[in-house]
Structures are given as structure tokens and as C-alpha cells.
Amino acid sequence: MMKKALFASDHAGVDLKKILVAAVTSWGYTSQDLGPCDLQPVDYPDYARRLCEALLASQGGDIGVLICGSGIGMSIMANRFKGIRGALCLSTEMANLSRRHNNANVLILGARLTTCSEAATDILKTFLDTPYEGGRHDQRISKFDN
């Protein structure tokens, strides 16, 4: 089954988002950009909510990508939602750990901090390709929502 990748950002993340949408499409994923599409200032919590609600309503195995300036605001808002495990990642190492240990389903990037689009693309590829380890982590992640 083909995974779907949902994207949303604020104005600071629009340019990087377009690059990453093109990347996942080239890797064979279905993608959906939930906005915004231009550089008019918006409030990142509105777009975090839109993406999280869509992801929670989607099939298991789909993932989300949220981008704002630092990634911090998106990280606060996304993790308000039960069932969302949002990981702010600045490196492939963090993306790897977030999948293996936390079974993260939303990758969060800071466009001001990850300014190199190749680095961001590598982080996303690692996030998509790394499986969750399970084992001792099951008990921990079950506590997020209980």
C-alpha cells in the first residue's frame, strides 16, 4: 500500500515545503499540500491543526510534515493532538531516533534552521525509510495518550 505524505506550513515554510513535496512525489509517494501556497503571513497553529486532523482521519501508515520558521511552534501545536507524535528534527540522526524510538508520525522542520534543501530532503528520506523498533519503546509511547 502506497503511503501518503501530508504537508502544511506557515509562510516561512512555503518554499521548503514545495521542494519536499516534489521530492516525495519523485520517490513514489502520494502527497497533499494543505497550505498555505503563498507568502502571506498566517498563524502556524491553524495549519498544524489542519494537518493533524487530516492525518488522524487518514489510513494508518500515512505521515505528516509540518514546517515553520524554527519548528518549535509547530511542535507545540501538533503534539496537542492525541495520536500525533510530532518530532522536530534537525538532522538525519534525529529523524532516525524519532522513528525507531518514538514511532513519530509527523516530521517537523524549521526552515530558518534547516536552510539547506538537500539536508531537509535527507532528513525526510530518513524519516520515511526508518521503521519503528517496538520492544521496550511500546510501553513508553503508549503513555503519550493514556
Taking CB under 8 A as the binding criterion, the range among 21-29, 52-60, 106-114, 127-135 that sits at the site for its own copies is 106-114
Residues 6+ apart with CB under 8 A from 72: 88, 110
User: Is residue 104 involved in binding its own copies (CB under 8 A)?
Assistant: yes
Residue 114 touching its own copies (CB under 8 A) = no
CB of 84 to its own copies, least distance (A): 8
How far is residue 30's CA from residue 24's CA, in Å, rounded to a whole number?
A: 8
Q: Judged by CB under 8 A, does residue 36 bind its own copies? A: no
Distance in angstroms (rounded) separating the CA atoms of residues 86 and 75: 6
Q: What is the DSSP letter of 12?
A: G
Residue 1, Cβ neighbours under 10 Å: how many? 7
Q: Which is nearer to its own copies, 21 or 101 (CB)?
A: 101
Q: Does 45 bind its own copies (CB under 8 A)?
A: yes
Among 18, 49, 100, 101, the active-site one is 101
